[in-house]
Structure 1
């Protein structure tokens, strides 16, 4: 008998592990392989503007990996939310040449865009000058500068944002008020459904899409709940590095809007979208780690609070009112900040007291943290995190003292915060310590944008004016 021939099977080379990463690669060589393995055709090169809106360019993936130079006009980061530009003054000068800024892709943010029909990826970019210098006034760089200020004194901030938003009927005519959507029950969603599982189940298919879109992008949702408002949801993210978490909020907002549109409704992050309903917040949990020991500097070895814990809160109390323009950046933001509402209008703190601006949740000593409850969901996540952490850093550097904690209801007393955008901008411009950490160029640019937005708002006649002034004055 002839010998039996062994069947020879061709072995296909296994793809390297990094191509299966849902989010991020180390270098351009890995990026090329990552894109090729997924058959990616187009790349969105994006960056957040001052409002947190994604700006950038789209290109074929082959062009992206061929060392193509990317650029955006500097004016992109000086525009108002309505597309206008501020006047020169108060330290702000619009650049005469409106020159280009170079986009530097951060390959650790490379991810798919799951809602696109064609295979598409996205990457977040930083902005640098033509000579390679960091651009001081772009939001991602502002946050990076604040984190670097902590790093210089051996500290690392850790944050965990919570983002509230509303689902609403499509509203192509802005003259009409927003209304809650109809869920799977066929009835419009009502309020008072805080933590209702049935309220979440009304939008099962949409929420499934949010989860699927998030998973494919490597975005980590901790929990999702129904909040008090009609059609109001909240997503909590796992704690981590401030820049990485700001990137996640930036991408989450896009993801949630796209998932909602797929189901023919809007998702809005306006601070107060519906009259008579609660506002939407972006609460920020913060702790600080000693880089040498890895310990939370808010907790002593015996589990008690440290002086640093109280200094951090002292900085928040003294400087967050001056930073409010970054935490509540629009006229609409101040409709959320009213007395006896769920949003704080004070600069007090307390243990597990949700009526205070700065709440210390119940936790193990190692997880001791300070929750800033003032920011609204319309805030740019990079700037809100930068402002909040900068205020705490001033407290640490200057050893500021915190007031005693509040144990009663704090939201029915006097209002400790600016009552409107212009007052908030005035206070922001006067805080030189805050500007020094955030960057003077950013501070003057941001203030100029906010003043210009307020002037644009003043051109609009509201229904209230027509209701009460038309025939009565």
Structure 2
């Protein structure tokens, strides 16, 4: 009887089942016609195939080329001939569904489900390049210590008018008042109410997929919003961010609006971040590793902060992955320019929110919202763990503003990639192949960017030089 009750609850849940048979029953109950078999690539883009549900359960193996894990955001490919670990023939990988991610696609007209897949070689080995596996690799390091990381992401994004010509700047959309936002409206309820029908759809779509929104607020920029997710297991939360981005974009399109997670989409407006709250729980006791029994901060807490300070600059290309990402990191804005830390201090890269000992955590304010959530979370947790492993000690906490202090973070993508390549501890954590391939992808994206002539160049150079 208890087992039957658990199975029934699982089948009734909007998200996730435990087995192939439960997945089949789950989809039959909802009369699913089609299923999207999706794989997050290095950019966090959903790749995969759409197939009829009947074909999905015929036991077919989903195959996709290995090159989906080294495609750039523009659809190009870097030169990887020197990386001997890769298959030069670009053969197929096998993809296996993770049924814990199974949920419906609520914006489709026909009953459609989606499930995230994991990548394996033809010999059954996990593919270390896959972003979900990169995160799992970091989580295994925590598991080896008897620890479980806990994260809570906060994702900022902009709503903008449809823009079909990339030569024109983005503009805020028209709300229910018939007017576009002007000026800053941080935390304004009325500004959120301008788009109530859109947010109703976001909440409905999220509930249908079993995605848990904690809060939604208006941020500093014109039509800039932030969604906070409830804390939980890193892989599950990365899956949720991956699905949330798609959900928000689809809901916005329904209302003839674009939702963008670009780090700096509008020149005169603040950038968009993906803040990551982080803590560690002892797997046996459930106690927060960042707090001693007397409630005071533990040595691990301080070493975790020190690890973030030491390694976030070197892993920046995973948290700020595009040329545009570095436009966000400007002095005297809400974005950090360094890796100082402080208690309830929003001018630093590492903020320690006021909390009870059991909820003690470190908020990493460095990542931008354009980052692949699997890679950004993996990078942040890896930096902290390296600090604990090496018993590093942080600088003194900042009590005033850190905005006047020097830049600690790379100023551009190439500088960030170089720091990533040169950091031996990160190569040890992520593996030589991932570091080499990811670096090559970012370098190729930079070269693609350099082939584009910007409006600034036409404005200031055309007739003046």
Shift of 1:47: 1.0
Match of 1:180 in 2: 172
**Residue 426 of structure 1, aligned match among 415, 418, 426:** 418
Listed as ranges, the matches of 1:181-330 within 5 Å are 181-330=173-322
Write out per-residue CA displacement over residues 121-176 of structure 1, whole angstroms, 9 at most, x where no aligned residue. 00000101111111001101100110111001111100000000000000000000
RMSD: 1.1
Quick check: 150-159 or 438-447, which moved more? 438-447
Shift in Å at residue 413 of structure 1? 1.5
Match of 2:4 in 1: none
> 2 CA distance for matches of 1:180 and 1:214?
24
* Deviation sequence 1:375-411 (CA, Å, 0-9, x none): 0000000000000000001011111111110111102
Alignment of 1:343-358 (within 5 A): 343-358=335-350
Deviation at 1:441, TM superposition (A): 1.2
The runs of at least 4 aligned residues of structure 1 exceeding 4 Å deviation read 89-94
Deviations 1:41-68 (A, max 9, x none): 0000001000000000111111112211
Q: Equivalent residues in 2 for 1:78-117 (5 A)?
A: 78-88=70-80, 91=83, 95-117=87-109
Question: Matches of 2:89 and 2:462 in 1, distance apart?
Answer: 46
Distance 2:11 2:295 in 1: 43
C-alpha distance in 2 between matches for 1:403 and 1:229: 32
Q: Distance in 1 between matches of 2:158 and 2:80?
A: 36
- Distance in 2, Cα, partners of 1:61 & 1:340: 52
Give SS of 2:153's match: strand
How far apart, CA to CA, are the structure 2 residues paired with 1:256 and 1:358?
27
How many Å apart are 1:347 and its aligned residue? 1.1
Are the counterparts in 1 of residues 80 and 437 from structure 2 also a CA contact under 8 Å?
Answer: no
Residue 150 of structure 1 corresponds to: 142
Query: What displacement does 1:93 show?
Result: 7.0
CA distance in 2, matches of 1:421, 1:89: 23
Deviation at 1:350, TM superposition (A): 0.4
Kindly indicate whether the alpha-carbon contact (under 8 Å) linking 1:22 and 1:217 is maintained by their aligned counterparts in 2. yes
Q: Structure 1's 207 and 437: CA in aligned 2 closer, same or farther, altered over 3 A?
A: same
Deviations, residues 207-246 of structure 1 (Å, cap 9, x unaligned): 0000000000000000000001000000000000000000
TM-score by length of 2: 0.97
2:85–2:433 Cα contact (<8 Å) kept: no
Structure 1 stretch displaced more, 292-301 or 48-57: 292-301
Q: What TM-score, normalized to structure 1?
A: 0.96
Whose radius of gyration is greater, 1 or 2?
1
Unaligned ranges ≥5, structure 2: 1-6
Cα separation, partners in 2 of 1:79 and 1:92, compared to 1, 3 Å:
farther
Secondary structure of 1:321 counterpart: coil
